[in-house]
C-alpha cells in the first residue's frame, strides 16, 4: 500500500521494461504512399535496370560523333534529319551514317548513334540541322544500368523509408513495400477537472492537453493514435472506456491518476488487474505503471503535462520505434556547458527543459524543474539530464543533453 512497497527502477531499467511490453509489430505490404517514415522489413531487389535502356540526357540530335568532327561556329556541319524521336517512342530506327535524328530527353537512343548534340549548339532544324560544335563519343548519353543493375538489391531491410527511398522503389517498378505496420495506440486522459480546448472553462477546471500532446507524439514516430474521450476520476467510467475500445489496439497510454493522492483512478482501476504501479528514480515523472490488461499493453503515465510528455519521450517513444523496426531509437545526445547553477535531487535523475545555442557550446535551462511548466517545455530544444547522485551543477559545468530538435 505505501510507496515503500513499490518496486523502483532507474530510468534506463524502466526504458527496458516498456520496450519489453511492445514486441516487433507484424510485417505487411503497404502501398508506397502509406510507407513514409516506416522501416523496410525485407531487401528490395530491382527487376529492371535504371535507366532501363540507353537514352538521351538532352534535347538535341543523336549523331555519330565522327560525322560532326571539326564543326565550329564559323564552319558548322549540316546533316539531314532522318527521324524524330520523342520520349516514349518505341519503334526507333537505326541512325544511318551522315544523318542525324532529332531526339528529346529520355527518348531511346537509335542504334548507331554514339553522342547527342544539345539543341542549343544547333539551328534546331527539322529537315536539315546545322551543328556548330563537335562532340566526343558518349556525350549526353545515359547508359542502361548506369544507376541500378537489374537483379541487385536497391534497398536494404532496416532502411527508414524517406522520400528518396520511396521514389527509388517506384523507379524500379515496386508499388508496395513490406514494412512493420504502424502501432495502433489508444490515448486516454483521466481527471474530473478536465475540459476540452474550445469549450468554456468553469472555475476550478483546466484545459485537457495530455491527449493532444501524446497523440501527436505517437503520430510523429509513425504510429496511429486514437484519442478516447477523457474520463473523470471514476473507476467504472475508466474501465468502461477501455473495454469499449481495447479491441485491436497494440497499446493504451493513460495519463493521470497514478500518484499518491486519494482519487487515483488509474491506480484504483488497474491495480491487481495486470498493471504494476512502480516508482522511477527520476524527476519529473516518478510515479509510473505498466502491464497488460487482457492482452493489451498498457502504459500509465503521470498526469502533470511535463511528466507525461517526458515519460513518453524517455520510455514510450523508444519502445514504439523499436517495435517498428528502427535500430536508432534514442535521441541524439551531446554535452555542453551549463550557463547557470542548478540544484537537483541527489537520489534521482533530473530532466530539465533547456535551450542550447547553435554551436552546442552552452545550454540554459528554460523555467524551473516543476512538472506543470508546459510552456517552458514548448520553448525548449533539449533536455538536460542531471544524473542520480549529482545534487548540484555549477555554472560552467559540462552537462549531458538529449537533443529534441
Ligand atoms: P494527476 O496525476 O492525475 O494527479 O494529475 C497531476 C496534475 O496534472 C494535476 O494538476 C492535473 O490537473 C494535471 N493533469 C492531469 N491530467 C491532465 C491532462 N490530461 N491535461 C492537462 N493536465 C492534466
Ligand atoms: Mg488526476
**Phi-psi group of 37: left, alpha or beta (phi > 0 → left; psi -120 to 50 → alpha; rest → beta):** left
The CA 192 to ligand 1 mean position distance, Å, reads 9
Spatial separation of the C-alpha atoms in residues 299 and 14, rounded to whole Å: 11
Spatial separation of the C-alpha atoms in residues 309 and 215, rounded to whole Å: 11
Tell me the three state secondary structure of residue 48: coil
The per-residue pLDDT for range 146-194, each reduced to its tens digit, is 999 999 999 999 999 999 999 999 999 999 999 999 999 999 999 999 9
| For the CA of 373, the nearest ligand | 1
- Ligand 1 pocket mutation pick from 255, 277, 289, 301 by most atoms within 8 angstroms of CB: 255
Q: Which residues in 264-284 are b (16+ Cβ under 10 Å) and which e?
A: bbbbbbbeeeebebbbbbbbb
The per-residue pLDDT for range 230-272, each reduced to its tens digit, is 999 999 999 999 999 888 899 999 999 999 888 899 999 999 9
List, as ranges, residues with CB under 5 A of the ion ligand 2.
191, 256-257, 303
Instruction: Report in angstroms the alpha-carbon separations of 61 from 97, 120, 141.
Output: 14, 10, 11
The per-residue pLDDT for range 103-123, each reduced to its tens digit, is 999 999 999 999 999 999 999
Ranges of H-type helices in 252-334: 265-270, 305-311, 317-323
Q: How many residues does the chain have?
A: 405
The CA 265 to ligand 1 mean position distance, Å, reads 12
Residue 4 reports pLDDT greater than 60: no
Spatial separation of the C-alpha atoms in residues 165 and 169, rounded to whole Å: 6
The CA 191 to ligand 2 mean position distance, Å, reads 4
The per-residue pLDDT for range 332-384, each reduced to its tens digit, is 999 999 999 999 998 999 999 999 999 999 999 999 999 999 999 999 999 99
**How far is residue 85 CA from its own chain's centroid?**
43
- Ligand 1 pocket mutation pick from 190, 191, 227 by most atoms within 8 angstroms of CB: 191
The CA 274 to ligand 1 mean position distance, Å, reads 23
The CA 339 to ligand 1 mean position distance, Å, reads 31
The binding-site residues of ligand 1, defined as CB within 6 angstroms of any ligand atom, are: 189, 191, 193-194, 206, 208-211, 255-257, 259, 261, 302-305
Instruction: Report in angstroms the alpha-carbon separations of 150 from 47, 57, 232, 309.
Output: 5, 21, 60, 47
Model pLDDT, residue 176: 98
Taking residues 73-88, what's their average pLDDT? 97
Smallest CA separation from ligand 1 atom 9, residue: 304
Spatial separation of the C-alpha atoms in residues 248 and 239, rounded to whole Å: 17
Please provide the average confidence, as pLDDT, over all residues in the chain. 96
| For the CA of 189, the nearest ligand | 1
Spatial separation of the C-alpha atoms in residues 317 and 251, rounded to whole Å: 12
What is the position in ligand 1's atom list of the atom closest to the CA of 189? 19
DSSP tag of 181: P
Residue carrying C-alpha cell 497499446: 251
Model pLDDT, residue 221: 97
Contact 353, 373 (CB under 8 A): yes
The per-residue pLDDT for range 201-219, each reduced to its tens digit, is 999 999 999 999 999 999 9
| For the CA of 259, the nearest ligand | 1
| For the CA of 204, the nearest ligand | 1
Model pLDDT, residue 20: 98
Model pLDDT, residue 241: 96
What is the position in ligand 1's atom list of the atom closest to the CA of 209? 20
Model pLDDT, residue 1: 45
Cis check for the bond before 284: say yes or no (omega within 30 of 0): yes
Spatial separation of the C-alpha atoms in residues 239 and 275, rounded to whole Å: 13
Percent of the chain scored above 90 by pLDDT?
Answer: 95
Which of 161, 181, 167 has the alpha carbon at shortest distance from 224? 181
Amino acid at each position: 500500500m505505501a510507496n515503500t512497497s513499490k518496486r523502483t527502477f532507474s530510468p534506463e531499467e524502466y526504458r527496458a521494461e516498456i520496450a519489453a511490453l511492445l514486441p516487433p509489430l507484424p510485417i505487411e505490404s503497404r502501398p508506397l504512399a502509406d510507407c513514409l517514415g516506416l522501416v523496410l522489413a525485407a531487401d528490395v531487389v530491382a527487376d529492371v535496370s535504371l535507366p532501363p535502356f540507353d537514352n538521351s540526357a538532352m534535347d538535341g540530335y543523336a549523331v555519330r560523333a565522327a560525322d560532326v568532327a571539326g564543326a565550329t561556329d564559323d564552319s558548322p556541319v549540316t546533316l539531314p534529319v532522318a527521324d524524330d524521336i520523342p520520349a516514349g517512342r518505341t519503334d526507333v530506327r537505326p541512325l544511318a551514317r551522315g544523318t542525324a535524328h532529332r531526339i528529346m530527353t529520355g527518348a531511346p537512343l537509335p542504334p548507331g548513334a554514339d553522342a547527342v548534340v544539345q539543341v542549343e549548339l544547333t539551328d534546331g532544324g527539322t529537315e536539315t540541322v546545322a551543328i556548330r560544335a563537335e562532340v566526343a563519343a558518349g556525350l549526353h548519353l545515359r547508359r542502361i544500368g548506369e544507376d541500378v543493375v537489374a537483379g541487385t538489391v536497391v534497398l536494404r531491410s532496416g532502411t527508414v523509408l524517406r522520400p528518396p527511398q520511396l521514389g527509388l522503389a517506384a523507379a524500379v517498378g515496386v508499388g508496395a513495400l513490406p514494412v512493420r505496420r504502424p502501432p495502433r495506440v489508444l490515448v486516454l486522459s483521466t481527471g474530473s477537472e478536465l475540459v476540452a480546448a474550445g469549450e468554456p472553462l468553469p472555475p476550478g477546471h483546466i484545459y485537457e492537453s495530455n491527449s493532444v500532446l501524446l497523440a501527436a507524439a505517437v503520430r510523429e514516430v509513425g504510429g496511429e493514435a486514437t484519442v478516447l474521450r477523457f474520463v473523470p476520476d471514476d473507476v467504472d467510467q475508466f474501465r468502461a472506456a477501455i473495454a469499449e475500445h481495447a479491441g485491436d489496439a497494440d497499446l493504451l497510454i493513460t495519463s493521470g491518476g497514478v500518484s499518491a493522492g486519494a482519487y487515483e483512478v488509474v491506480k484504483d482501476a488497474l491495480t491487481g488487474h495486470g498493471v504494476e504501479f512502480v516508482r522511477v528514480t527520476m524527476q519529473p515523472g516518478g510515479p509510473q505503471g505498466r502491464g497488460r490488461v487482457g492482452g493489451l499493453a498498457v502504459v500509465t503515465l503521470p498526469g502533470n503535462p511535463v511528466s507525461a510528455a517526458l515519460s513518453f519521450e524517455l520510455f514510450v517513444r523508444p519502445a514504439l520505434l523499436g517495435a517498428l523496426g528502427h535500430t536508432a531509437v534514442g535521441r541524439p545526445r551531446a554535452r555542453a556547458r551549463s550557463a547557470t547553477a542548478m540544484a537537483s535531487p541527489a537520489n534521482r535523475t533530473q530532466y530539465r527543459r533547456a535551450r542550447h545555442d547553435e554551436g552546442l557550446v552552452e545550454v540554459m535551462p528554460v523555467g524551473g524543474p516543476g512538472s506543470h511548466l508546459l510552456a517552458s517545455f514548448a520553448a525548449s530544444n533539449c533536455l538536460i539530464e542531471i544524473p542520480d547522485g549529482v545534487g548540484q551543477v555549477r555554472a560552467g559545468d559540462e552537462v549531458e543533453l538529449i537533443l529534441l530538435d
